Amino acid sequence: MKGIVIYQSKYGATSQYAQWVAEALDLPFVNRESVTPLMVAGNDLIIVGTPLYVGKLLIAKWLEENAGLLGEKKVLLFIVCGSACDDPVLQQQVINNNFGHVLSKYAGIFFVPGRCSPPHLSWIDRLLLKIGAWREKDPERKKAMKEGFDKMGRENLYQLLARARELMNEGKHEEVQYVG
């Protein structure tokens, strides 16, 4: 089964995860900006990585534009984020608010913790984060929004990689049956 990792990232956390996923599964990884329709069409397994910004998937527009093509594929989505990572209610809201009807057809959606370093953000992102921190009630999340956080780690990809391997194995069986 042919596969590809497609990602979009603003400050590097998602591209780091995309690279780790690609290495673990021996697949190519490509920035969304360089992806052509042929690349999507030519693969059976599409692993998409995106960060979450103010409740929105950074790659949402691309997912919507390519919904037709992706509908014929096995798609895994990983969402790199902060507080949404350990909040199932928030996660469901994220799915519902980002073309939930399209996302519900995917073979798996995984939330993985990323990183955020306020001094390295654009002024607009720093401002958005300050507003978020001001509105946040939970003290731990408020602190993370003010001071930043780094929860990056290959171990966060365990479930995603397990699901990807499962799909790749299913693909192998299908190929064998077809040949036989």
Ligand X SMILES: Cc1cc2nc3c(=O)[nH]c(=O)nc-3n(C[C@H](O)[C@H](O)[C@H](O)COP(=O)(O)O)c2cc1C
Which positions lie near ligand X, rule CB under 6 A?
Answer: 9-14, 51-55, 80-84, 114-116, 121, 125, 128-129
Strands 56-57 and 29-31: what pairing? unpaired
Cα atoms in the Cβ-side hemisphere of radius 13 Å centred on 61: 4
Minimum Å distance from CB 35 to ligand X?
Answer: 16
| Nearer Cβ to ligand X (114/167) | 114
| Nearer Cβ to ligand X (138/166) | 138
Minimum Å distance from CB 109 to ligand X?
Answer: 14
| Nearer Cβ to ligand X (83/156) | 83
Minimum Å distance from CB 121 to ligand X?
Answer: 5
Strands 115-116 and 149-150: what pairing? antiparallel
**Burial call 132-143: b when 16+ CB within 10 Å, e when fewer:** bbeebeeeebbe
| Nearer Cβ to ligand X (47/129) | 129
d(CA 50, CA 161): 16
